Amino acid sequence: MRIDVVTIFPQMFSGPLDVSLIKRARAAGLAKINIYNLRDFTADRHQTVDDRPYGGGAGMIFKPEPVYRAIKYLSRNKIRPANRRIIYLSPQGRVFNQSIARRLAKYQQLILICGHYEGVDERVLDWVDEEISIGDYVLTGGELPALVLIDCVVRQIPGVVAKKESVQNDSFSQEYLLDWPQYTRPPVYQGRKVPAVLLSGNHQKIEEWRRQEAIRATRKKRPDLYRQWLERKKKC
């Protein structure tokens, strides 16, 4: 998979994409992530990316031309349009979740457009396949949401997370349950004991305990998810 990011702050991407799992996925060639500066797609001497909105009001918005040139440039490859997704990160988008991540992981190329200031000229959305939000809050730009999306999508690419079961066992992956409580050594810390079942060596008992605890945690911490889980269970 290839992920191309268009931003006016490329610096924001060095660091998060150069550590841990994402770093390994890139080194292994499983995820080819490239960051492009929107200013490189301008045609004027001052590399202007923004302008004042018609109708007045505070602030600036992205001009359409540089964004169009960036999209055109990044679409100049052998990938069929059906295998490419152009995404704009904004609070107006569909709220991101694990199933969107799983769907996006199947594309050959993602082009992520990061807005800034007060947004983009509405005509930019004509070239965008989907608008995605990572939650109901406003940030200074689409860069952090792009990083969230990349992190989540890349670990869905086969081979990125070492054990196949690790990705499948995650919260949300199979059936919208939260993680079960986890413990490591020491067996007693500050008077708090690790549940005996986990030390028992009885793997069937451990599996049953984990599932019950996952259900309990979901009901307590995320009643909204618990209701969804109950609904899905009824159907099966």
Q: Cβ closer to ligand 9WO: 66 or 145?
A: 145
Q: Closest distance between ligand 9WO and the C-beta of residue 113, in Å?
A: 9
Instruction: Indicate the burial class of 172 (C-beta count within 10 angstroms; 0-12, 13-18, 19 or more).
Output: middle
Q: Cβ closer to ligand 9WO: 66 or 119?
A: 119
Q: Cβ closer to ligand 9WO: 56 or 186?
A: 56
Specify the 3-state DSSP secondary structure of 39: helix
Instruction: Indicate the burial class of 113 (C-beta count within 10 angstroms; 0-12, 13-18, 19 or more).
Output: buried
Q: Closest distance between ligand 9WO and the C-beta of residue 229, in Å?
A: 25
Q: Closest distance between ligand 9WO and the C-beta of residue 181, in Å?
A: 30
First-last CA distance in the chain:
33
Please give the residue ranges that form the binding site for ligand 9WO (CB under 6 A).
58-59, 89-91, 115-116, 118-119, 133-135, 138-139, 141-142, 145
Please list the active-site residues: 91, 118, 155, 170
Strand 188-189 to strand 192-193: parallel, antiparallel, or no bridges (unpaired)?
Answer: antiparallel
